[in-house]
């Protein structure tokens, strides 16, 4: 369990960790705290804690160097969880998709090629394979499948290269630098919460339009849940639908294709709680 929440105040959690680190020699190093969160380092990871609501605090083992946590980090983290349980704290596991997202950060996409093969040669070979498997398929459909496969291959190779570059850069990062990024993220989130309370000028004024947006947002939420389930089952590499998926979902449900701008506005309004 790389992330969990505890039914305890933010300050109680911090005080207990400090006490246990001294009393049990957990081997974790204090990296600082502010009114929003606290950070420690251990092994090749950082441990972060932040208050998510009144009386509930989140703890996370962060593999900020994009590598699997080592023995030192694993042992300290396991001991912290054990101590909270022994001291009668109630611990909650996050949804499976949250854990999956954390685990995915350290996993390379493993593309089939290091570099893109010759496009014409690859597409010709792929078309031959498709025609062999599906001899009755139309040429247009075969070309469409080839183009989709080529895009998938291209995206995989790009993702693999990006992961490799990100991991190389992440290995240079110190525990303190990662902790400072964590504190900065908490501050940005705090500012964002304030900003989200104010509706922008493009938000609809008519109640009828707001109801329509709520219906559309409900479709998006359903699609998100479907993706979360499929990702947890290992049936897709994407835990979240993209903008094209949202457009298609609305078109299938409403019989009308909306613009990307409209879809993004509805999603932003719903995510920020303006449609509640």
Of 187, 214, 233, the residue that ends a domain is 187
Assigned domain for 127 exists: no
Mean pLDDT estimate for the chain: 85
pTM, entire model:
0.57
Assigned domain for 140 exists: no
Query: In the chain, where do the E strands start and end?
Result: 3-6, 29-33, 37-42, 45-53, 56-62, 91-92
Assigned domain for 129 exists: no
Instruction: Write down the pLDDT at residue 1.
Output: 56
Domain span at residue 260 reads 199-271
- Per cent of the chain over pLDDT 70 is 89
Instruction: Write down the pLDDT at residue 85.
Output: 92
As for how many domains the chain has, the answer is 2
Q: How far is CA 10 from CA 35, 84, 87, in A?
A: 9, 14, 16
The residues of the chain scoring below 50 in pLDDT are none
Kindly report the CATH number assigned to the domain that includes residue 26: 3.30.160
Assigned domain for 175 exists: no
pLDDT tens across 161-194, in order? 888 888 888 888 899 999 998 988 887 776 555 5
Residue 202 neighbours by CB under 8 Å, 6+ apart: 265
Residue 104 — φ and ψ, nearest 5°? Answer: -65, -25
Residue 65 neighbours by CB under 8 Å, 6+ apart: 44, 45, 167, 170, 171, 173
Instruction: Write down the pLDDT at residue 48.
Output: 95
Instruction: Write down the pLDDT at residue 234.
Output: 74
Assigned domain for 142 exists: no
Assigned domain for 155 exists: no
Find tokens 């101590």 and name the residue. Answer: 83
Of 155, 187, 219, the residue that ends a domain is 187
Assigned domain for 20 exists: yes
Rounded CA separation 171/63 (Å):
10
DSSP annotation of 213: H
Assigned domain for 86 exists: yes
How deeply is 216 buried, as exposed, middle or buried, from its count of CB atoms within 10 A (0-12, 13-18, 19+)? buried
Task: Note whether 98 and 198 are within 8 A (CB).
Answer: no
Of 153, 187, 221, the residue that ends a domain is 187
């Amino acid at each position: 369990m790389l992330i969990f929440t505890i039914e305890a105040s933010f300050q109680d959690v911090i005080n207990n960790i400090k006490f246990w680190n001294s009393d049990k020699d957990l081997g974790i190093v204090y990296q600082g705290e502010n009114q929003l969160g606290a950070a420690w380092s251990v092994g090749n990871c950082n441990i972060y804690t932040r208050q998510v609501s009144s009386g509930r605090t989140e703890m996370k083992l962060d593999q900020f160097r994009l590598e699997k946590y080592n023995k030192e980090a694993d042992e300290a983290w396991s001991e912290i969880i054990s101590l909270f349980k022994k001291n009668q704290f109630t611990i909650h596991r996050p949804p499976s998709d949250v854990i999956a997202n954390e685990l995915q950060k350290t996993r390379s996409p493993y593309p089939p090629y290091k570099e893109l093969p010759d496009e014409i040669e690859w597409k010709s070979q792929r078309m031959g394979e498709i025609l062999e498997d599906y001899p009755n398929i139309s040429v247009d459909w075969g070309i469409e499948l080839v183009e989709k496969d080529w895009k998938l291959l291209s995206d995989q190779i790009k993702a693999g290269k990006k992961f490799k570059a990100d991991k190389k850069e992440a290995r240079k990062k110190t525990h303190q630098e990662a902790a400072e990024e964590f504190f900065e993220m908490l501050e940005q989130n705090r500012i964002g919460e304030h900003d989200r309370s104010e509706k922008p000028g493009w938000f609809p004024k008519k109640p009828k339009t707001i109801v329509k947006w709520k219906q559309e947002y409900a479709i998006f939420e359903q699609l998100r849940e479907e993706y979360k389930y499929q990702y947890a089952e290992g049936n897709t590499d994407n835990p979240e639908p993209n903008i094209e998926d949202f457009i298609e979902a609305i078109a299938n449900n409403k019989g009308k294709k909306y613009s990307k701008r409209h879809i993004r506005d509805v999603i932003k309004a719903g995510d920020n709680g303006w449609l509640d």
